Amino acid sequence: MSLRSLVWLFVLSTILPPLGIGLTIRYIKAEDEKAKRIGWISLIVTAIAVVVMVLLSISAMNSATQQINSQMQNYQF
């Protein structure tokens, strides 16, 4: 297991969470305990990234809704 493959796994898990799951499962199913540990860490990183993306999306939608509502009040709709 090279450093390059580990970096690639964690980048995928962080930036593109759904795409990192395939590699994560492969590491979790491995016989090597170190690979399993890395797989579980990657799964946790993926889950955290998904939660953060959902929270940021909700925040962005709420902000957009507030801006639209304030503009609608200016036009008295």
- pLDDT tens string 31-46: 999 989 988 988 998 8
Total structural domains within the chain: 1
- Work out the mean pLDDT of the chain and round it to a whole number: 86
pLDDT recorded at residue 42 = 87
Type and span of the H or E element at 25: helix 17-28
Confidence of residue 77 (pLDDT cuts 50, 70, 90): low
Do 64 and 39 touch, CB atoms closer than 8 A? no
| Structure confidence at residue 59 as a pLDDT band (50, 70, 90) | very high
Domain ranges, residue 58: 3-74
Please report the pLDDT score of residue 60 as a whole number: 97
